[in-house]
Amino acid sequence: MESKSAPSHEELQRYVFQCEPLLRNCWAQHKNADDVLILGDTRREECHRTAFDQYGQAALDRLTREAESHGLPPMVPYLQPVRFLDALAKSGFAGRECAKELRAFAALASFGFVPLLVVTPGGMWATQWVDPADPRAAVLRCEPETPVEAN
């Protein structure tokens, strides 16, 4: 597996934003409201293995090509049951902290929030995602009037 430094916060946001159609398609397959959505870089063995198990090689290749066509690393979304968080919590400090955050986001499922774990060769980040088509959640994406650099 290729080694890479951790992506910046802006890069992580770009990964999630540009993979939104893939996230939406993946989330449409969920079976339980407390499922966890993973956006995993398939250069990490555990992400490749899990995505392969869920999709098979042909679909995994197609999803990887689609992500790379947007200038992204081979990021592929897949689902994990909430019990995945138990195993994550036992995997060390970072896993324990991510599991805590993801459980908090899972508690907001009735408002349309989906726990999202972004996994890259440089680390993992817990966040939430909201399907823009979900009628329970009103999501606004605003550009600041004054760029941060100008302050």
User: What average pLDDT is seen over the chain?
Assistant: 85
Residues in the chain: 151
What does the domain layout of the chain look like in residue ranges? 10-130
Distance CA 69, CA 91 (A): 33
Per-residue pLDDT tens digits for 42-93: 999 999 999 999 999 999 999 888 888 888 889 999 999 989 999 999 999 9
Q: What is the DSSP string of 118-130?
A: EEETTEEEEEEEE
Q: The whole model's pTM is what?
A: 0.82
